[in-house]
Amino acid sequence: MSNAYENVKLARRVTRPNAKEYIDYIFTNFFELHGDRAYKDDKAVIGGIALFEGTPVTIVGIQKGSTIEENIERNFGSPHPEGYRKALRLMKQAEKFNRPVITFINTSGAYCGIEAEERGQGEAIARNLFEMAKLTVPTIAIVVGEGGSGGALALALCDRVYMLENSVYSILSPEGFASILWKDATKAKEAAELMKITAKELLELGIIERVIPEVDGGVENDFMYTAHMLKEVLKEDIKTLMSINKDILLENRYNRFRKMGEFEENIPYSDN
């Protein structure tokens, strides 16, 4: 079995700590806010205001459950359009009050049901990308489990992107990739190896800035170790990003993603 697919299995574990657990450990005085002011509150996305080392910050996280009942309530971490619109509402509020934005990502992808499409799933994701590119406050994204497709990217167009060591970040699931490329979802293991979805590979490619270490067997075996390491990294990077002039911050963010676009343009494709 490929090492990449082992990462996929670890990232999908129901026992893996969720966004709220990191929020409770790293931040203080978290006050959750609800609703997108248009339709309803999406429980797959949590967000609000908190303090980090005394600094007010805005936090947005995609929340999975640890039981079947919680996962049903949270739609298994697959947000509807109103979830992304809630996230954007909180990020624009953060910009107004000059608060850094930290996002926690753990989703196989945005919900693809009929009702989500009827309420504008594609527009909601695209709007987040458009607006996040222009936010004048520091933004940091952390992939703590699965980072799947546009559903993950809608919260990851940031100045810094971190991944936990056993998390994955990809354009779609290995099963979906195998179904498209080979018409055979059972080749997910081979697909995972081909896709370059692990934290180590994406760091080498320059897609992310940091890998947060986990103990052997996964973060759930020593949550406090990984959460502490993440907290220390956030302490360093938030301070650095807040010291940067806003115009330079925006220019750096543009260049970060423009560089990735140029990398993609140079990938050789085959018609076979």
Answer whether 172's CB lies under 8 Å from 148's CB: yes
> Mean pLDDT throughout 182-198?
91
Alpha helices in 161-245 (DSSP H): 174-182, 188-195, 199-204, 223-242
In the chain, the amino acid numbered 95 is E
Backbone φ and ψ for 18, nearest 5 degrees, come out as -100, 175
Residue 97 has pLDDT above 60, yes or no: yes
pLDDT of residue 1 exceeding 80:
no
The domains located in the chain, with CATH, are 3-261 (3.90.226.10)
Kindly list the distances between the CA atom of residue 70 and the CA atoms of 63, 129, 220, 238, in Å, as whole numbers in the listed order. Answer: 10, 28, 18, 32
CB-based contact 69:56 (threshold 8 Å): no
Rounded CA-CA distance 209/122 in Å is 27
**In this model, does residue 61 exceed pLDDT 60?**
yes
Residue 251: what residue type? E
pLDDT, mean over the chain: 92
pTM for this prediction: 0.92
Q: Which residues of 36-70 are buried (b: 16+ CB within 10 A; e: fewer)?
A: beeeeebbbbbbbbbebeeeebbbbbbbbbeeeee
* pLDDT above 60: residue 272: no
Structure confidence by residue, pLDDT tens digits, 158-174:
999 999 999 999 988 89
Instruction: Average the pLDDT over 214-231 and give the result.
Output: 94
Q: How many residues does the chain have?
A: 272
Q: Tell me, what's the pLDDT at 3?
A: 85
Q: Cα(99)–Cα(101) distance, rounded to whole angstroms?
A: 6
How far apart are alpha carbons 28 and 30 in whole angstroms? 6
Please give the Cα distance from 63 to 203 (Å, whole number).
25
